[in-house]
Amino acid sequence: MMKKVERTQQNIKRCLCLECPSYSMLCRLKNFEKNKNRTDEALQSHTHYEKMFCAFEKSNCIHANKGCLCRSCQNFKQYGLENCTYCTHTGGGACQV
């Protein structure tokens, strides 16, 4: 059964979103300051964070799927996620084979 991904520093550290081919170098540079460590408490109050898209809204920076690492992510496995491309679709889209 799919569980909601907890917005914790531990999960942020395991997140692969910034390594994804869809997350360009320009996105990384543009959002570096915004992606600095935040407390677990601060993470709870945000609906958008430019990382860990499975727990937040889709990216404001990624506009095309250029590859997906969701299935390789420890958070994906631990929380029994079934969707992929959380970066381009809030709530994710169907995983490609």
14-51 pLDDT, tens per residue? 999 989 999 888 888 888 777 666 677 777 887 888 89
Report if residue 74 sits inside a domain.
yes
pLDDT classification of 97: cutoffs 50, 70, 90: low
Asked if pLDDT for residue 1 goes beyond 80, the answer is: no
In a domain, residue 3? The reply is: no
Helices (H), the chain: 9-14, 25-31, 40-44, 74-78
Residue 22 domain-assigned (yes or no) = yes
Domain-located, residue 23? yes
**In this structure, is residue 57 part of a structural domain?**
yes
Please give the model's pTM, rounded to 2 decimal places. Answer: 0.85
Q: Which domain holds residue 70?
A: 9-94
Predicted confidence band of residue 2 (pLDDT cuts 50, 70, 90): low
Residue 54, domain member (yes or no): yes
The number of distinct structural domains making up the chain is 1
